[in-house]
Amino acid sequence: MTTALDFTVRDIHDQPVDLAAYRGKVLLIVNTASQCGLTPQYEGLQALFDRYKERGFLVLGFPCNQFGAQEPGSNEQIEAFCDTSFRVSFPLFSKIDVNGDDAAPLFKYLRAAAPGVLGSQRIKWNFTKFLIDKEGRVVKRYAPMTKPERIARDIEALL
Query: One-letter amino acid identity for 65?
Result: N
Question: What is the Cα Rg of the chain in Å?
Answer: 14
Q: Cβ distance 139 to 133 under 8 Å?
A: yes
> Residue 26 in 3-state DSSP?
strand
Give the pairing type, strands 129-132 and 138-142. Answer: antiparallel
* Helical pair 41-52 and 75-86, crossing angle rounded to 10 deg: 80
> Residue 94 in 3-state DSSP?
coil
Asked about 64 being catalytic, the answer comes back as no
Separation of alpha carbons 112 and 107, rounded Å: 8
**Given 6, 11, 36, 86, the catalytic residue:** 36
- Give buried/exposed letters for 45-58 (b at 16+ CB in 10 A, else e): bbebbeebeeeebb
Which residues are designated catalytic? 36
